[in-house]
Amino acid sequence: MLPQSVVSRIDELRQQLHAHAHSYYVLDEPSVPDAEYDRLFKELQQFEAQYPELLTPDSPTQRVGGKALDAFSSVRHKVPMLSIRTETDTEASGARNFDTRVRKELGLTDKDPPVQYVAELKFDGLAMSLRYENGVLVQAATRGDGETGEDVTQNIRTIGQIPLRLHPHPSPLPQAGEGDRFAVSPLNSLSPRERAGVRAYPIPSVLEVRGEVYMRRDDFEALNDRQRAKIAQGIKGEKTFVNPRNAAAGAVRQLDPNIAAQRPLSFFAYGLGEMTLPAGRRPVFETHFELLQALKSWGFPVAAQTECAQAAPELIAYHQRIGKMRDTLPFDIDGVVYKVNSLGLQKQLGFVTREPRWAVAHKYPAQEQLTTVIGIDVQVGRTGKLTPVAKLAPVFVGGVTVTNATLHNEDEARRKDVRVGDTVFVRRAGDVIPEVVSVVQGKRLPGAEMFTMPRVCPVCGSSAVREDDEADYRCTGGLFCGAQRKEAILHFAHRRAVEIDGLGDKLVEQMVDANIIRTLPDLYKLGLSALSALDRMAGKSAANLLAAIEASKQTTLPRFVFGLGIRHVGETTAKELARHFGELDAIMDASEEQLLTVSDVGPVVAKSLRTFFDQPHNREVVEQLRACGVTWEEGEPALVTQHALSGKTFVITGTLPGLSRDEAKDILEAHGAKVAGSVSKKTDYLLAGTDAGSKLDKAKELGITVLDEAAMLALVQG
């Protein structure tokens, strides 16, 4: 005879583990640390191993287990899993038409009160029916053809959000906006029973819960990362998945539940199939909203975005609101669902063919479609980045007609193996740039060639290079390349570069688009008539700009070098180069080895400098700028013995009495110091003005020397 203490302990462990799992998977509020859950789980495993006769299908230890199946057996649904009519009109009229049909079927006039609905998300997953007998999960089946599905019980047991045994979880009626709880619009009136507060719904003796198995986007990305790693290791038979829905469907239909358990799935409940109440029990709910409350009380997750809504205006508002947040949801949806709230009215409305009259799915524009790649172009961005772009046969996706889709970079294009002529899935979500998701390999044309990134810029012919730690190729003709023209001019005119006051984004865009400026030297060839002809450029404004351009001819070597826009060369590096070499020609002719002797120049910066000045186009632009009169004072290369502040790190905070922060920074850097943005253990001095704030507190905490403006100037002079 089994010891009663063992039976009691096993029952206690199972109840504790079920409760902890509900808190973790459904409420997203872990009740114990992982280590404590693991300890309880291991204790239960040991008991069940010692007393196998006490092992039950609903034990938490049985979420993953069992041998792989040869095939799925068929399951005939006691209550058919019917489809819902789809409203393909994605505009507001789709919701209005449904409300009109419902009112007409119910014989309501304009004088009758509005119909109350429940508005839910339409998940892009796999419909599932979960059958419980006496509170224990005994079977899970797919929709199939609505009458007959497949028995996938072993795989569904692996989903942590699905309870293996039902336990009442009474809770007060949630209000809108309570985190991930079931939300109810405060604008709507509820029946007295819906206002009843705390309720504990009796668990039916037979209960079929209908819902959706899906895969979260982050879980999907993590799964594909693991798949890519396996492919890179040469493991045969592995592949990446097209989208979360396909990945979820594939996991549910795995014959081996141990493999299914490795593919993270989630679940939302939204309805019922067969339900048999214990003898003598009356129906437990009158509305669909209350039904969802019961599902939550039994331990099932219900989508937080579910709301009550009255009449067409609130349905429309819900459809529009969810549409705006669609791309920020952690899972995919392709629409929303409206259901008449009253179960009595649902029964009165009945069905047409195999669809309920009391519900409709109001879709959003499709986010994925099939189309054909008719070419692959390479675009050059404002910063010189080369991006392969698939030219597509026009396809309507995500609410717009798409003809181009990004392939991101050469590695991504090769990983997806996109070739001209391929049939591909294209995705567009919200304002996201359309992208090719995957290729339909079975439709590939014979002789289709793999894409290769060009090694020269398609715009200017300069070399295209890819740094060792980057995925992108970049054009090296920064001062010459037409694609980078606007960015190059704006950077050159920046106040920390040569500084051309009044030359902003819109003006540069006008001048470049009108072909008034093709390269930087064209700035110094501008005339008053050409400028005055531009929009919003009166004679006085044009004269002021010409004066600013003329003034910019007198600059400094560090500002000029920084203004060239060489990749990885910022203000500090430009100053170090000028200090070290003394003149521009010496910088342009320096080898990588010589550049590496400069403070603040490492291998990446040295290579970038050498690549830039090795392009004849860039050298030509520099010489033309000199010929236009851009000049600076050059000096002797810096001596090994430098100022006492050389290598010291300053941080500037607060308002200084006589200097701006930029002026103070220039003074410090001119004397060899470095100016950082935040205080750390590496900081030597803090230059503090009034309203210094948290940086001053941190400096005092770390014991860093704090200077005011006068002390800093004395240090520089001394």
User: What pLDDT was estimated at residue 41?
Assistant: 78
Overall number of domains in the chain: 5
How far, in Å, are 442, 481, 578, 622 from residue 615 at the CA level? 45, 11, 21, 11
Instruction: Give yes or no for a contact between 653 and 664, defined as CB atoms under 8 angstroms apart.
Output: no
Q: What is the CATH number of the domain that holds 686?
A: 3.40.50.10190
* 212 and 284 belong to one structural domain: yes
Average pLDDT value over all residues in the chain? 85
The Cα–Cα gap between 561 and 632 comes to 11
Has residue 718 got a pLDDT over 80? no
* 131 and 94 belong to one structural domain: yes
User: What pLDDT was estimated at residue 136?
Assistant: 92
* 270 and 397 belong to one structural domain: no
Element (H, E) at 18: helix 4-21
Has residue 68 got a pLDDT over 70? no
Q: Of the ranges 380-384, 455-459, 560-564, which one carries the lowest mean pLDDT score?
A: 380-384
For 539-558, what is each residue's pLDDT tens digit? Answer: 888 899 999 999 999 999 99
Has residue 177 got a pLDDT over 50? no
User: What pLDDT was estimated at residue 172?
Assistant: 43
* 375 and 324 belong to one structural domain: no
User: What pLDDT was estimated at residue 571?
Assistant: 87
| Mean per-residue pLDDT, 226-240 | 82
| Helix residue spans in 334-409 (DSSP H) | 343-349
Greatest mean pLDDT among 399-413, 426-440, 527-541 lies in 399-413
For 650-671, what is each residue's pLDDT tens digit? Answer: 999 988 988 888 888 878 877 7
Q: What residues contact 9, with CB distance under 8 A and at least 6 apart?
A: 47
* 678 and 594 belong to one structural domain: no
Q: Is 688 part of any domain? A: yes
User: What pLDDT was estimated at residue 441?
Assistant: 85
User: What pLDDT was estimated at residue 181?
Assistant: 32
The Cα–Cα gap between 294 and 278 comes to 16
For residue 564, give its domain range.
Answer: 557-632
User: What pLDDT was estimated at residue 429?
Assistant: 66
Closest CA to 94 of 349, 338, 399: 338
Q: What is the CATH number of the domain that holds 585?
A: 1.10.150.20
Q: What are phi and psi of 713, to 5 degrees?
A: -65, -35
Decide which of 415, 443, 471 is a domain's last residue: 443
Residue with the larger pLDDT of the pair 596 and 279 = 596
* 243 and 297 belong to one structural domain: yes
| Mean per-residue pLDDT, 136-161 | 90
Longest pairwise C-alpha distance within the chain: 107
Has residue 173 got a pLDDT over 60? no
User: What pLDDT was estimated at residue 2?
Assistant: 72
* 223 and 284 belong to one structural domain: yes
Strand 464-465 with 148-150, pairing: unpaired
Closest CA to 553 of 598, 516, 521: 521
CA dihedral 387, 392, 395, 399 (to 10 degrees): 10
| Mean per-residue pLDDT, 238-264 | 83
| Mean per-residue pLDDT, 295-300 | 90
Q: Is 534 part of any domain? A: no
Q: What percent of the chain has pLDDT over 70?
A: 89
Q: What percent of the chain has pLDDT over 90?
A: 39
Q: Of the ranges 1-5, 32-36, 302-306, 500-504, which one carries the lowest mean pLDDT score?
A: 32-36
Q: Is 542 part of any domain? A: no
Q: Is 26 part of any domain? A: yes
Decide which of 632, 666, 690 is a domain's last residue: 632
Instruction: Give yes or no for a contact between 214 and 263, defined as CB atoms under 8 angstroms apart.
Output: no
Q: Is 256 part of any domain? A: yes
Q: Of the ranges 390-394, 537-541, 688-692, 710-714, which one carries the lowest mean pLDDT score?
A: 537-541
The Cα–Cα gap between 590 and 568 comes to 17
Q: Is 383 part of any domain? A: yes
User: What pLDDT was estimated at residue 67?
Assistant: 52
* 144 and 42 belong to one structural domain: no
Strand 368-380 with 464-465, pairing: unpaired
DSSP 645-680: TTT-EEEEESB-SS--HHHHHHHHHHTT-EEESS--
Q: Which residues of 565-580 are buried (b: 16+ CB within 10 A; e: fewer)?
A: bbbebebbbbbbbbbb
Closest CA to 576 of 662, 646, 660: 646
* 422 and 332 belong to one structural domain: no
* 330 and 273 belong to one structural domain: yes
Has residue 366 got a pLDDT over 60? yes
Q: Of the ranges 244-248, 430-434, 683-687, which one carries the lowest mean pLDDT score?
A: 430-434
Three-state DSSP class for residue 606: helix
For 457-513, what is each residue's pLDDT tens digit? Answer: 998 898 899 887 788 999 988 788 888 888 899 999 998 899 999 898 889 988 888
Q: What is the pTM of this model?
A: 0.54
User: What pLDDT was estimated at residue 115?
Assistant: 95
Q: Is 658 part of any domain? A: yes
Q: What is the CATH number of the domain that holds 203?
A: 3.30.470.30
* 342 and 434 belong to one structural domain: no
| Mean per-residue pLDDT, 151-160 | 90
Number of H-type helices and E-type strands within the chain: 24, 26
Q: What is the CATH number of the domain that holds 30?
A: 1.10.287.610
Which pLDDT band holds residue 310 (cuts at 50, 70, 90)? very high
User: What pLDDT was estimated at residue 558?
Assistant: 93
User: What pLDDT was estimated at residue 714?
Assistant: 87
User: What pLDDT was estimated at residue 386?
Assistant: 93
Residue with the larger pLDDT of the pair 384 and 647 = 384
For 115-134, what is each residue's pLDDT tens digit? Answer: 999 999 999 889 999 999 99
| Mean per-residue pLDDT, 354-376 | 88
Q: Of the ranges 54-68, 96-110, 187-201, 245-259, which one carries the lowest mean pLDDT score?
A: 187-201
Which pLDDT band holds residue 14 (cuts at 50, 70, 90)? confident
How far, in Å, are 59, 310, 507, 539, 541 from residue 535 at the CA level? 75, 52, 9, 11, 11
Q: Is 550 part of any domain? A: no
Q: Which residues belong to the active site? A: 122
User: What pLDDT was estimated at residue 547?
Assistant: 94
Q: Of the ranges 180-194, 321-335, 356-370, 658-672, which one carries the lowest mean pLDDT score?
A: 180-194
Q: What are phi and psi of 694, to 5 degrees?
A: -65, -30
User: What pLDDT was estimated at residue 147?
Assistant: 87
| Mean per-residue pLDDT, 587-595 | 94
Which pLDDT band holds residue 277 (cuts at 50, 70, 90)? confident
* 224 and 346 belong to one structural domain: yes
Decide which of 423, 443, 463 is a domain's last residue: 443
Tell me how crowded residue 385 is: count the other CB atoms within 10 A of its CB. Answer: 17
The Cα–Cα gap between 61 and 55 comes to 9
| Helix residue spans in 75-116 (DSSP H) | 92-105
Q: What is the CATH number of the domain that holds 382?
A: 2.40.50.140
